[in-house]
């Protein structure tokens, strides 16, 4: 029974920790991009393009965490084993 509780906790807390790092990383990227455009407004096209690519790369780390959370919640490979073990334990009591 606690297996499922731990699964849900892992998915939720993992996603929170993953978003934390991504937020900081993307904030730093945008900070530099905005400073670059402020210094040199003519180069804003190239700076914007590079910033978009950088943001997508950093975003992908949060996406990996999301994929793992989805796997834990919806495609969990241990669900059958855990259910069997829980039922066996309840029967044994």
Partner 1 sequence: MTHPFLIFQWLEGQFHSHLGNHVTYAWLVMAILILVSFLASRSIKMVPGAVQNLMEAVVSGIDGLLEDTMGKEGKAYFPLIATFALFILVSNLFALIPGFYPPTANLNTNVALALTVFVMTHIVGLRKHGLAYVKHFMGPILWLSPLIFVIEIIGHIARPLSLSLRLFGNMYGHEVVLMIFIGLVPFLLPVPMMLMGVLIAFIQTFVFTLLAMIYMAGALEEAH
8 binds partner 1 (CB under 8 A): no
Number of residues counted as binding partner 1 (CB under 8 A): 13
Q: What are residue 7's phi and psi, to 5 degrees?
A: -60, -50
Query: Interior CA angle at 23 toward 21 and 26, to 5°?
Result: 105
Site track 24-63 with partner 1 (rule: CB under 8 A), x = hit: ----------------------------xx-xxx-xx--x
Rounded distance, CA 69 to CA 74, Å?
8
Positions in the binding site for partner 1 (CB under 8 A): 52-53, 55-57, 59-60, 63-64, 66-67, 70, 74
């Amino acid at each position: 029974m606690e297996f499922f509780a731990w699964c849900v906790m892992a998915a939720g807390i993992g996603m929170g920790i993953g978003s934390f790092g991504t937020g900081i990383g993307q904030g730093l990227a945008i900070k530099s991009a905005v400073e670059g455009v402020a210094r040199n407004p003519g180069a804003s096209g190239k700076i914007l393009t590079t910033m978009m690519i950088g943001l997508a790369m950093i975003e992908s780390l949060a996406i990996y965490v999301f994929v793992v959370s989805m796997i834990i919640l919806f495609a969990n490979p241990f669900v059958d084993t855990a259910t069997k073990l829980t039922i066996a334990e309840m029967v044994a009591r």
